[in-house]
Each structure stands twice: as C-alpha cells, then as structure tokens.
Amino acid sequence: MEIRSTGNPIHWVRTQIGDKYAELLSEIQRAAITLDLEVFVVGGTVRDWVLGKELKDIDLSVIGDALVLVDEISKTLDITIVKYKKFHTATIKTAEIEIDVVSARSEIYNYGGALPEITLGNLNDDLRRRDFSINAMAISMNTPYEFMDPLKGMTDLDKGIIRILHDQSFIDDPTRLFRMFRYASRFDFAIESETCRTAETAIAENCLTTISKERLTHEMVLILNEPNTDSAVKYLIEFDVLGIPGVYNPLILFSTMKQELKWVALMSMYEKKYYEMFFQKFSLDRQNANAIKEFINLCSILDDNDADLLNEMDIGRMYLLLKGIPRITLDAYVMCNINTDLVKLLQQYMMYTDRVKLNLNGMDLINLGVDKNQISEVIDVLIIKTLKGEISSKSEEELIVVQYVNGLND
Ligand code: CTP
C-alpha cells in the first residue's frame, strides 16, 4: 500500500476516537499556524490508523519546541499540561483525554539503558531515533497533510514485520525487547531476522541489567496486560530475556486467566529452583508479591511431601499440610501443573474441602467447654473427621467435642 496524503488527520481522528480528540487537535493545528510550527502525528497513532485499529491515544511531534506550542494552547483551553522540560516534551490532559507532544529530536545514549541526551532536530531525526519502523511514520498536520515514511514502515506493516532502525537499539533501550514482543504478538507479526539476531546479541550481553527493577516490572505488566499475552510470553521465554532457564507451557492460557494469577503463571514456566531469582528481578505490588511467596511456599511443601501424599492418599495429612494455603494459590498450582498426578490429588482434596461445612461454630465449642486457645485444634479435628467421612451431623460433631474436652479424643 502507498499513501501520499491522508487528508486532514483531524477527520480520521474524529471518526476513530471522537469529537473530543478532534477538537483538541483543531486547537493544536490553529496554534501551530499562529506560531508557524510544523506538527506531525507520529508513532503508534499512525501505525494504528494505517492498520485500521482502534486509536487509544495520540502522539504528536513538533519541529521546534513542543513546550512553546502547548503554552500557546493553554492560553485558550481549560487543560492541564504536564511538562518534562529536560526532554522538551509535554502531555496535554483534559478531564477525559490525553495527547503526548514531543519536540522532534535526536537522542544520544551515553550508556545502555540510560536516559538519552537530546538535541532538537528535524522530522527525520525524530523518526530515526524511534524503536521500530512501524512506529516511525508521520502525517503532517499542516497542509497538504503529507504522509512521511522515510524508514519504510509501511512496507513492514504490509509484510507483517517488526524491524529495528539501528543495531544499537536494544542496547540503548532494552525495554524495546519487551515492546517488540508486545507488537509481534498483538499484530501477529514476525520479527525480522536481523532484528532477531540483534536482540539475541543484546540479551547475551545482559543488556537488561542496565534498567531498573521498576522499568522491568512496568514492561512486564504491559506484556501481561496485552490481549495476546500467550504469544508475548512465548517470545519472552524462548529469547531467554530474563536469563533464567524455563520452558514455555502452552497449556497455561493467559488470555482467560484472572489478573491476580498472571505473575505466578509466568513464574511457573521457569525452573523451580530459580523462582526466588525471578521474584527478585521485579518490584511487585503487595498483592502480586504475596501471591508469588505463597506459591513458592506451596511448591516447597508439595515437593517435600509429594511422594508420601501420592502413596498414602491420607486426606487428613493433606489437610494439615495445606490448611494455611490460600485457595487462590491452590488454584494457581492446579492451573500451572495441569494433568500431573499430584494435581489430580489436589483437585480431589479441593473438591472435598469445598464441601465441608461444620455445624458447630467457635461459640458452640466454647459452650461445650473448649478452651479458647484450643478452638482451632478442635476445628481441625472436626474437619479431618468430616473429610474422612467419620462424622456428618451436628450431634456427631458434639460428641467428638465432648470426648475431646474430656480428654478421650484419640
Ligand atoms: N518509542 C520509542 N522507544 C521506546 C518507547 C517509545 O521509540 N522505548 C516511540 C515509538 O515511536 C512509539 C512512540 O514513541 O510509537 C510512543 O510510545 P508509546 O506510547 O509507548 O507507544 P505506542 O506506539 O503508542 O504503542 P502502544 O500501542 O503500545 O501504546
């Protein structure tokens, strides 16, 4: 496909994401004319427009200083502007929408993973500094609304290929590895062979060690939030990005999984002895960190006892081992180890424990003479006897409690 002119981008923005964006863009266009600045729609916005995908946000590039442009529109509109002066970029925010505006620039990375030093430049500089050819196309917001594609992004979009623009790309910014997997899986594109080799070399040179835990975590969260996470995770493991031995497990389906299980599911594809190493690489929120710790704990309990559990099939023993493990952790283990004998046993156990509902509560136990400190012990006894099918009614529970209180319990 060849595109020379797209017409005024405001028209397609209006049809694809609505009037609010179109109106804000009109104001930007007006300000650009007043200030005699050239402004381009760039990056993912152009890519998604060409692909006919839903537009989520808008990226603009100004030839000159973006901060001057945003100051001009703030004179007339009720908007919030967040400026990043060092990089001459800004985000325009209204109650409902956001537009990112950058100053066209070239970037120099003094060392891998560093924040770049920038020099204001022209459109070509600005397209060349970007991650992939498919994200390096531009459409002018000034008449005649020219479509600019000096790096052949359009050809790659047609062929379905992800291609970097220079061989230092992943060393400069290792987050691009994750971006590459996201785009390849999102659009079902192939990774161009030279790009593949460059990625492998950068990974072999441990390029990821130059970025912070927080950035790494952020990139991983984006992968886990992709609609096609499965394929992105497959890339992640096959490229051995984290430097941890693992094997992609196609039976684990991220697309249908609860959000809170995703980190554990990802970790489960790595070898067990490296779980702690996986955990240490990220800076996780409390909920995900706890989920991982509980999972590691469950794995070590099962590893220590699996032979006994499988031989004896003693549900009481299993209950005592697993009673402190949250249900979601058991679910996660089942999901990540489909079809193993231990999981079948675990599923049986979960089915039985789900059915157990004692007739007596804590207060009933106290009224029957149980010491407060022994309530949980007595409850364990009642649950185990119920699980084993030895008791099933309130009166049988009461009898056990009375025997216990009288020291007759076995
Ligand atoms: N970009 C880059 N290198 C990065 C991050 C971003 O070159 N590490 C450039 C790309 O041109 C990208 C643009 O900045 O298109 C905007 O970045 P971002 O909003 O993160 O990406 P989108 O392309 O909008 O992708 P997504 O759909 O995932 O939001």
Block residue for tokens 């005024």 = 8
Asked if 63 and 174 sit in the same domain, the reply is no
CATH number of the domain bearing residue 199: 1.10.110.30
- Smallest CA-to-CA distance from 101 within 86, 83, 76, 128 is with 83
Share of the chain above pLDDT 90, in %: 80
Sign of the torsion formed by the C-alpha atoms of 240, 246, 248 and 253: negative
Q: Which residues line ligand 1 (CB under 6 A)?
A: 43-44, 59, 130-131, 135, 173, 175-176, 179
Among 159, 181, 196, the domain-final residue is: 159
- Distance from CA of residue 227 to its chain's centroid? 10
Which atom belonging to ligand 1 lies closest to the Cα atom of 222? 28
Q: How many C-beta neighbours within 10 Å does residue 384 have? A: 20
Asked if 152 and 185 sit in the same domain, the reply is no
Query: Hey, whose CA ends up nearest to atom 29 of ligand 1?
Result: 44
**Phi then psi dihedrals of residue 235, to 5 deg:** -60, -50
Asked if 130 and 177 sit in the same domain, the reply is no
Asked if 155 and 197 sit in the same domain, the reply is no
Q: Containing domain of residue 317, as a range?
A: 286-355
pLDDT digits (tens, 9 = 90+) for 217-247: 999 999 999 999 999 999 999 999 999 999 9
Among 190, 210, 243, the domain-final residue is: 243
Which of helix, strand or coil describes residue 200?
A: helix
Query: Hey, whose CA ends up nearest to atom 16 of ligand 1?
Result: 43
Q: Count how many domains the chain has.
A: 4
Asked if 19 and 154 sit in the same domain, the reply is yes
Asked if 73 and 134 sit in the same domain, the reply is yes
Query: Hey, whose CA ends up nearest to atom 25 of ligand 1?
Result: 44
Which atom belonging to ligand 1 lies closest to the Cα atom of 102? 14
The pLDDT of residue 202 is: 97
Pair type for strands 190-191 and 161-162 = parallel
pLDDT of 61 over the 80 cut? yes
Sign of the torsion formed by the C-alpha atoms of 152, 53, 127 and 161: negative
DSSP string, 14-39: HHHH-HHHHHHHHHHHHHHHHHT-EE
Asked if 337 and 392 sit in the same domain, the reply is no
pLDDT digits (tens, 9 = 90+) for 111-137: 988 889 999 999 999 999 999 999 999
Residue 392 domain-assigned (yes or no): yes
- Say what the pTM is: 0.90
Q: How many C-beta neighbours within 10 Å does residue 80 have? A: 11
Which atom belonging to ligand 1 lies closest to the Cα atom of 176? 8
Asked if 64 and 32 sit in the same domain, the reply is yes
Cα(186) to ligand 1 centroid in Å equals: 14
Going by C-beta distance under 8 Å and a sequence separation of 6 or more, which residues neighbour residue 286?
Answer: none
